[in-house]
Structures are given as C-alpha cells and as structure tokens.
Chain A
Amino acid sequence: MTQLSFLPTLPFPASPLALFGLLLLAGVIGGELVRRALRLPRIVGYVLVGLALGTSGLNWLDGALLREAWIFVDIALGLILFELGRRLDFAWLGREPWLAATAVLESALSFAFVFLALLYFGVQPLYAAIAASIAIATAPAVVLVAAQEIKAEGQVTERALNLTAMNSVIAFVSSTMLLAWLHHEYRANWAIVVLHPVYLLAGSALLGYLASIAAMTLARWLGRTERGHLVVSLGLIAVTVAAARMFELSVVLALLAFGTLSKNLDRRHDLLPVDVGWIGQLFVVVLFVVSGASLNAAEFATGGTLALIYVLARFAGKSLGVMSLTYFSGVRRGAAGLLCLALTPMSGTAVGMVHRTGQLYPDFGAKLAAIVLSAVLILELVGPVAVQFALRRAGEAAEDK
C-alpha cells in the first residue's frame, strides 16, 4: 500500500476553502431561484438556503462547520460596517439635526414599545429590556446589501443608511448598559458592572480611531492610487475585526467607528473613496447563508407569538418616531412612510447580541433567543423585501436594463 501513498486518505479533512466555495455556490443558486421564481430579493434566497442547510433543515451545517465559516461572516460584516460608517457624515448631521433627532426618537420609541408590549405579555422586566434594546438596531447588512442590489441612490436610501448606522450604535450602547444591570442581577461586583460597558465602548471606539489614523497615514504615504487605498482599507478592516474579537470588543462599534472616523477626520481628503462593494458581495452571500443556518425554526414554536408581537411593536415604535420628525427635515413629505419600511430589517447584529448574552449567562440567553431569534427569522425574510419595496417606491432604484 505504501506505493499508493500519493492518494488522499479518507475521510477528507474539513476544508474552510471548500466550505466557503460551497456556501457561495449554494447561496448564489438559492438567491437566483428566489429571484426568478418569486421575484424577491436574492438575500431572501441566501437566507432560505441557510435555513435549509442548517439545524432547521438538513442539518448539514452544524455548529462546528458554522464556526469554520465564521471568519467569512466576520469579513462580510467588517466590509459592510466600514462602508456604512463612511456614509455617516457628522457635518451633515450638524446641518440636518432632525435626522439625528429622528434616530434618537425612533430608537427610544422602538425600545419603549417593545419593552411595554413584552411586559404586558408577562415577560420579566430584565428580559424585556434587553430584548427591547436589541430591537433598536436595524440590520446594516440587509439595508446596505438590499440597496446595493438594486443600485438605489437618493434621499430615502441615504437617510435609511444613516439612521441604521445611528440606531445600531444606540442599540449597542443601551444593550451594553443593560448587560451591566444583568451583571448586577447575577451578583457580580460593582466594578464589573461599571467597567465592562466602559471597556466595550471606549475600547471599540479607540480601536476604530486607531484604524482610521492608520488608514489616513498609509493613504498619504501611498499617494493617489485607488488600488492601493482599496488594499489598505481591506487590510485594516480585516485587522480591526480580528483585533475586536481578540480584545473582546464590539466588531460593530469598532468598524462603524473606523468607517466614520476615516471619513470625518480626513480633513485633507487623503483617503480616496474606495468601493469595497464588489468584494463585499462575495462574503455577503456567505454571511446570509450562515445567518440563515444559525437560526432555528424550532424556536419559532416556543417564541412565535411573542416574536410576532415583538416585530409589530418594534415597527410601530420606529414608525411613530420617523413619522413624527420627518416633517421638520429636508426630505420630501412622502418619504416618511418609505423610511419606516426601510428600517424594518433585523439580522446578524441582533444574533450577535443574543449570543453575547448567552455566552455570559447561558440560561438567560436561551430565554432571550426564543423571542429575539424568532423575530429575526421573520425579519430576515420580510426585511429585504420591505427595503427594496421602499426604495423602488421612492424612485431611487436604478432602471432595469
């Protein structure tokens, strides 16, 4: 047998590369089928493929494989959050203060509505509060990718993305603060209660800041080469995501900070506007397949009704917030309702927040997951449709060729 040692031995070792390729292919096929058969956004197809392959379906993508795929999800999230951050323009928020005010109000109202609704249906206050704080966030990946798929551009698109960036930060800050409260409930000492949120917020912001300084410095040194700046951005995105994981910081906050500071601190316009979109598309497919696979349809059986209430209360809160302030902002009147629709998606970041809680307090995490992840399941499928409907209705999608 020794002379045949050039032959591969069975079983094959797990290969992340093969996994990446297969997830990509499965996602693309699913996305295209959904688009052709149902005329729905491709994202819905990616998620459905994930659901079919994951624990809810064939169970080919189990926990171990999902962990292998996590690196691709991280890259996708990094690219998306960086891009979203680049669109958050502080000078604009200064000139159009109603937009920032809208973000604060719709965040507060979606928290309040979800919290009160869950309380009313007998959920304990602490669970309700943490679930409500997660409800504040709109999914950056879904809004950005759904908008890019139809090449949407305009006031509703831009405002939806800015509101998403802001409510993601607000959601993260408030859920972190509530986690501190949770620490206290579980009899942790006060130093942890105070230090953990401070560490998360300040650490993530500092990491983003350092990345943006590095980006601007390298860009200046490289000179005006678009390709060079693209590579620098990609490299720093990967390093920042890894560093955020390593230091137990927030990937969302660090990458948003990186993106937005690299735009807003760049007074001399050293960093060229780079388009990470087309590279992002590769990883985005895997991101949505994996997030579909990590959802458990069985949880829907236990959390289904509450999840429905959660979704409706969240939509009502966000809509009231957006509707009541859009009048004062510069955008046209008809845009308010469309903005509400564009803010409905929920996904990866919410899953991340639930997992974070679950890691710290497993039984608490499980109870939370039943409600929140069932809501995510609904919104992963409805969200992309709502976003594209809103942006098409707003006349901001590119013409179909």
Chain B
Amino acid sequence: MNSAETEFRPSASCTMGVELELQILNSRDYNLARDAADLLELLGRTGHPGAVKPEITESMIELNSSIHVAHEPLVQELGRIRDAVARAAERLNLRIAGGGSHPFHQWGERRIYPTERFRHILDVYGYLAKQFTIFGQHVHLGCPSGDEAIFLTHLLARYVPHFIALSASSPFQQGEDTSYQSSRLNTVSAFPLSGQIPFVHSWSEFLDYFEKMRGYGIVESMKDFYWDIRPKPEYGTVEIRVFDTPLTVERAAALAAYAQALARHLLTDRPRAPSREVYLLYNYNRFQACRYGLGGTLIDADGGRHVPLKEHVLETLARVAPHAAEVGGAAALKALEAGVRDGTGDAEWLRRAYKARGTLNDVARMQSELWMGLTRPAAR
C-alpha cells in the first residue's frame, strides 16, 4: 500500500483554500471554446499568481488560491489571479466566465484535454466524461488530524444544501432552462462513485474501507471518489465540492469564508456527534436545494422538522458569525446574508439576464463580462 497517499498530513485547523473551474468562451457567439492549452501556455509564459491547471475538457480551466486564514487576503489573491487570467484570455480573443454550467453548449462538441488521466476517465465513463464539462468551486478546509477530518466531513454533510443553494448558478444547460437552480449536480450524480462518504468514525476505519475498495479494484486512488465532501489526506483538508462556481471571485471567497466559519464552529463548539439520520435525509435535502435553491424546504435531522432552507441558512449565518469575526470573515458573511434576504443569487441573475436579453448567447456574454470585471454586477 502506498502510505504516502493515504497518510493524513495535518494542517492548521480551519485554514482555507479555493479551487475554481471556469468556462473558456469564444468572443463570436460566446459558445465554449477549445483553447485551454493555448491559454495555459500563454499564462505559463507571462507568469501569474496562484496556480492554473487544465480540467477534463479543452473548454475548462481551473484556478487555485494558496492557503489562507483570513477572507481579505483570499479575495485579494483571487482577484489578482482573475486579472492575470482575464488579461491572457483577452490576448487570445477569449472570454472567461463563472457559473456552474455553460447555458447552451452541446456536450457532444467537447474534446477531452489530452492527458493520460483525462483520457482514462473518457475510457471508463464514456459520454459522461464530456458531459462533465460543468464548473464547480471546491473549498479546502484545514484539519489537524485524520480523525478530525472524518468528524468534520460528517458534520458538514448536514449543510450541503446550504452550499448548493448559496452557490447555485447553473439554471441553464444545453440551451434549455432546466427549472433547477443548480442543474450541475444532476450531472455529477450520474457517476457511480459520486455520493457520500460511508459512515465511518475514524481515519483508520476510513482507511480500511479505502483499502477494501482498492482491493476490489473499484478505485485506484482517493481521486476516484467523486463525493460531495471528501477528506484529502495529502493536503490535510476536507474538501467541499458541491458549490457551483459563482459568477464572481468575490462571491467565491465569501462562500469559502462561510464554510470556514461553519467548520470552526463545528470543530470548536462540537455542537453534536455525527449522525446516520443526516444521511437518511441527505438526498431529499440535496434535491430540494438543487431544485429550488433557497426557496426549498429542508428536513432537519434533529427532530425532523420541515424548515424553509432560507431560514435555516439565516439561522446558521447568525450562529457562526462570531467564528467568522475571529478570523476576519465577518464582512463576507454580512454580504452573503444580505443576498439571502434579498433573494439575489447567481441563478436569479442569470435568469434575469435571459429575460432581459432574450438569448442565451447574451447570457453567456454577460456572464463573462461580469467575471472578467468588465461590468459591475449592477443587474443584482
């Protein structure tokens, strides 16, 4: 067994890092372009802050922040990476956009980015690999040990609907309004290794499970689990993967600050023990968030009461506010809270843009102008 891969490397508790998958568009009709390799090459040549990587198809690019404690430096860094990527894209006459899905691209036209791993995914999953041209934000939260990571993974599961509803930005797919706030996760669900971590209680129990799965030949590495939340031993983090990529880096940083404050609350206050009940209700609650966003209804695992998701989010924002204040995330949470009260999320922004302009080409264009900082989010 390769212990280097499964050994949990401890990291400072509640530090955070952000990964953003982004859309590369052409500037003619704002369909997805295929220029990831050229864009990466140019960025490599001119230099840029942070890390920039290829993703499964040639129409995607992934940005990584470094590790942060406070919100302000994170948002600053993401802004600098965004500016560098936007500048490079403009030299190639490309546009970069946020949002969990491209509104009208056809998956059949996508091409796999030529690396061995991505080709392998195409081999194994067939057309799902191309349909995987969807765009998520991953938030890494530092954990001091593997056991803490398992604990945090289970407790965060309860808040998955929050993350989905707050980030939802994929109402359109393949040229249609899906009626979902986040249609992106439906695509993820098609993968056989998507879902949730099994109900294990410690890092060693988790490793037993992993080794068993590896023994069966079902997985080769931790990367093969496409779970909503998964421990990432080589980084020493828990990785939340249900966020749609928001329309701006500012919102991405605010969402990370929320996850961080929540993790800090869960790890320091220890409000409850991991519970199987959460997983019984998991798919129902997750669906509510995908379908209706903050307008959905949540069934609380404590006592089974039905709560409007919006209310649950506002309650939680209030509860974790002191933790956010401790690490400099108070302002970010205030901004999120204001958005929740006004009902002005990214999915609403996209639907309003479509209503105003009448074509999805224009929606994609406005999405890219917003992300690149060419327009202010006035339509909010």
Contact = CB atoms under 8 A, between A and B. Distances in A.
A102 B26 CA distance: 22
Contacts of B299: none
Among A330, A332, A398, A399, the most chain B Cβ lie within 10 Å of the Cβ of: A330
A contact patch SS? loop
Interface in A68-94: 86-87, 89, 92
Given A155-B38, A330-B92, A399-B111, A86 B28 contact: yes
A92 B42 CA distance: 16
B357 A155 contact: no
A89 B27 contact: yes
Interface stretch (B2-10, B29-37, B198-206, B317-325): B29-37
B93 A92 contact: yes
Nearest to B30: A273
A226 B175 CA distance: 14
B365 interface: yes
B224 interface: no
B28 A273 contact: yes
Contacts of A330: 38, 42, 88, 91-92
Given A92-B27, A95-B91, A224 B38 contact: no
A331 B357 contact: no
Contacts, number: 56
Nearest to A96: B91
Nearest to A275: B29
Interface string B78-121: 00000000001011110000000000000001010000000000
A155 B27 contact: no
A26 interface: no
Interface string B167-188: 0000000000000000000000
Among B33, B35, B38, B362, the most chain A Cβ lie within 10 Å of the Cβ of: B38
Interface residues of B, number: 25
Contacts of A329: 91
Contacts of B359: 224, 226, 272
Given A155-B35, A224-B358, A224-B359, A332 B27 contact: no
A299 interface: no
Interface string A317-337: 000000000000111100000
A158 B361 contact: no
A362 B217 CA distance: 80
Contact of A398 (B27, B37, B109, B361): B109
Contacts of B28: 86-87, 273
A32 interface: no
A89 B93 contact: yes
B131 to A, nearest CB: 16
B41 interface: yes
Contacts of A399: 111
B28 to A, nearest CB: 6
B93 A396 contact: no
Interface of B: 26-30, 33-35, 37-38, 41-42, 88, 90-93, 109, 111, 357-359, 361-362, 365
Given A330-B42, A332-B38, A332-B42, 16 more contacts: A95-B90, A95-B91, A96-B91, A153-B26, A155-B92, A224-B357, A269-B365, A273-B28, A273-B29, A330-B91, A330-B92, A331-B38, A331-B42, A395-B37, A398-B111, A399-B111
The 3 closest A-B pairs by CB, nearest first: A224-B358, A330-B91, A273-B29
